[in-house]
């Protein structure tokens, strides 16, 4: 009798521990970011992930990526995928699942609708960027955040670029007045902060050539550059210039915005999609058998009176030995903090400090010495009229690893049942800016 009681207690405890874990639900995983979230195991998340999606190649590729993580030799994961596939996948999710986190990373055309419906049905939401690509859908996003607040649900987007070490250190040094001074006001020609990134359609993910879905080239489904990747860059301007401050819509003045297309030949299209011809929905974008994809965009705005510029460029393929690149500068009254990733840096993101007249070198050395407590191994290297912040390889985790870092941040919010108010305000302001910039750019074509 005692043995039975002990066994029942063990089972009860085990069941209780299992039920305490976060129930993870992946919805229509059309983008490889959905799999990258699961490249790592998390003790707080149930290893059985429920997936709801339509039948097709997007789902097959997602499951193959998860299985590859499970089967890898070094640090294999132990995810179990329980799949429902069918045209009614979203309705089935809403009817079958009672609680948990809905993870969204895929076709962006219905993403805002999915977010709002999931929140209405009591689910937490962890969404890849962008949360909204259509200016007409912005009000639905506002409604989702209001409902999430009322229902105490965690609605959050995946801002991986906050984890890039050069950006982290740029932010850290910009907060030191005896090193950086204060952020200048800047102007249109020389903004106080610039964020520019170059991306490529042909690339490798987890060591394998990336197969992209055809809809990725349809801006009505993926989103234009001004509302897609730009959401990362706008986020960084808020996060670095005014950390943990709520940026209201009234703090932003949009000055100008522009967009332009990347030409994609049929040969290039086949290389990255495996398809011999364009689907019918891409035909309107084809000129002389070449797709014109409006994936590029730039915008200038003021942020609490400081000029900012973000720019996104998409090319088909990076030159040999290179990859996606990032450029950034923050201009201070005492020094500028610049991130370069050119051939001179072997295409590795590198942070420089460019001093101005009267700069205190000893203050910089003391600052870096102090930062070593948090970022061990960093050092200063003199480079003619500037300093390079040398960063050890141990701190350079790479883009794929950043998904785990953001997911852990979300898990902490989930455990506390609270996302900081400034995060929520800034998400709403960020997407208001990107969608407004798209409207402006389209109106000035």
The Cα–Cα gap between 105 and 158 comes to 10
- pLDDT at residue 286 tops 70: yes
- pLDDT at residue 2 tops 50: no
Global pTM reads 0.92
Question: Which has more confidence, 319 or 312?
Answer: 312
- Nearest Cα to 334, choosing from 390, 387, 389? 387
Q: How confident is the model at residue 307 (pLDDT cuts 50, 70, 90)?
A: very high
- Nearest Cα to 184, choosing from 330, 39, 326, 68? 330
Residue spans per domain, the chain: 23-158, 162-405
- Nearest Cα to 296, choosing from 315, 273, 323, 268? 315
Cβ neighbours for 169, distance < 8 A, ≥ 6 positions apart: 351, 371, 375, 378, 389, 391
Mutual angle of helices 165-174 and 230-241, in 10-degree steps: 30
The Cα–Cα gap between 310 and 438 comes to 13
In this predicted structure, what is the pLDDT of residue 205? Answer: 76
In this predicted structure, what is the pLDDT of residue 318? Answer: 81
- pLDDT at residue 194 tops 50: yes
In this predicted structure, what is the pLDDT of residue 167? Answer: 98
In this predicted structure, what is the pLDDT of residue 19? Answer: 59
Cβ neighbours for 15, distance < 8 A, ≥ 6 positions apart: none
Reading the block at residue 419, the tokens are: 């996302």
Average pLDDT over residues 233-243: 98
In this predicted structure, what is the pLDDT of residue 3? Answer: 41
- pLDDT at residue 433 tops 60: yes
Query: What rounded mean pLDDT belongs to the chain?
Result: 93
18-27, 49-58, 158-167: least confidently modelled range: 18-27
Between the alpha carbon of residue 128 and those of residues 104, 111, 228, 308, 397, the distances in Å are 6, 9, 10, 24, 20
- pLDDT at residue 14 tops 50: no
The Cα–Cα gap between 347 and 316 comes to 17
Average pLDDT over residues 230-244: 98
Average pLDDT over residues 54-70: 95
Reading the block at residue 179, the tokens are: 């090193």
- pLDDT at residue 1 tops 50: no
Tens-digit pLDDT profile for residues 100-118: 999 999 999 999 999 999 9
The CATH number for 23-158, chosen from 3.40.50.720, 1.10.1200.10, 3.40.50.150, 2.60.40.1480, is: 3.40.50.720
- pLDDT at residue 17 tops 50: no
CATH topology of domain 162-405: Dihydrodipicolinate Reductase; domain 2 (3.30.360)
Question: Taking a C-beta distance cutoff of 8 angstroms, is the pair 225, 259 a contact?
Answer: yes
Cβ neighbours for 370, distance < 8 A, ≥ 6 positions apart: none
In this predicted structure, what is the pLDDT of residue 322? Answer: 76
Write the DSSP assignment of 351-410 as a string of letters: EEEEE-TT--HHHHHHHHHHHTTTSTT-EEEEETTEEEEE--GGG---HHHHHHHHHHHH
CA 34 to mean position of chain CA atoms: 11
């Amino acid at each position: 009798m005692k043995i039975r009681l002990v066994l029942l207690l063990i089972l009860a405890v085990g069941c209780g521990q299992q039920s305490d874990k976060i129930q993870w639900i992946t919805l229509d995983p059309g983008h490889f970011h959905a799999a990258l979230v699961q490249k790592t195991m998390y003790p707080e998340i149930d290893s059985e992930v429920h997936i709801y999606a339509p039948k097709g190649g997007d789902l097959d590729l997602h499951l193959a990526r998860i299985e590859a993580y499970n089967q890898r030799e070094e640090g294999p994961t132990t995810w179990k995928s329980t799949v429902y596939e069918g045209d009614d996948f979203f309705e089935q999710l809403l009817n079958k699942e009672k609680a948990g986190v809905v993870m969204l990373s895929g076709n962006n055309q219905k993403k805002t609708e999915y977010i709002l419906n999931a929140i209405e049905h009591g689910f937490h939401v962890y969404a890849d960027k962008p949360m909204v690509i259509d200016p007409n859908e912005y009000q639905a996003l506002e409604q989702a955040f209001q409902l999430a607040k009322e229902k105490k649900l965690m609605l959050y987007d995946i801002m991986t670029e906050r984890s890039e070490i050069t950006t982290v250190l740029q932010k850290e040094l910009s907060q030191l007045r005896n090193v950086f001074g204060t952020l200048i006001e800047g102007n249109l020609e020389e903004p106080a902060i610039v964020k520019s990134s170059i991306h490529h359609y042909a690339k490798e993910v987890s060591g394998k050539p990336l197969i992209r879905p055809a809809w990725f080239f349809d801006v009505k489904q993926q989103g234009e550059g001004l509302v897609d990747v730009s959401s990362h860059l706008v986020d960084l301007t808020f996060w670095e210039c005014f950390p943990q401050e709520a940026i209201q819509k009234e703090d932003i003045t949009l000055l100008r915005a522009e967009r332009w297309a990347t030409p994609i030949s049929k040969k290039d299209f086949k290389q990255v999609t495996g398809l011999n011809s364009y689907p019918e929905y891409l035909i309107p974008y084809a000129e002389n058998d070449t797709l014109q994809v409006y994936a590029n965009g730039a915008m200038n705005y003021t942020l609490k009176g400081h000029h900012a510029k973000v720019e996104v460029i998409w090319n088909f393929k990076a030159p040999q030995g290179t990859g996606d690149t990032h450029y950034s500068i923050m201009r201070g009254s005492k020094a500028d903090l610049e991130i370069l990733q050119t051939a001179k840096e072997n295409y590795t993101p590198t942070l420089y400090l460019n001093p101005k007249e009267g700069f205190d070198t000893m203050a910089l050395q003391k600052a870096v010495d102090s930062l070593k407590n948090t970022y061990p191994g960093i050092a200063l290297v003199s480079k003619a009229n500037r300093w390079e912040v040398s960063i050890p390889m141990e701190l350079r985790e790479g883009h794929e690893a950043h998904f785990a870092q953001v997911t852990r941040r979300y898990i902490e919010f989930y455990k506390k049942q609270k996302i900081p108010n400034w995060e929520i305000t800034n998400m709403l302001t960020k997407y208001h800016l990107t969608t407004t910039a798209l409207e402006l750019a389209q109106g000035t074509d």
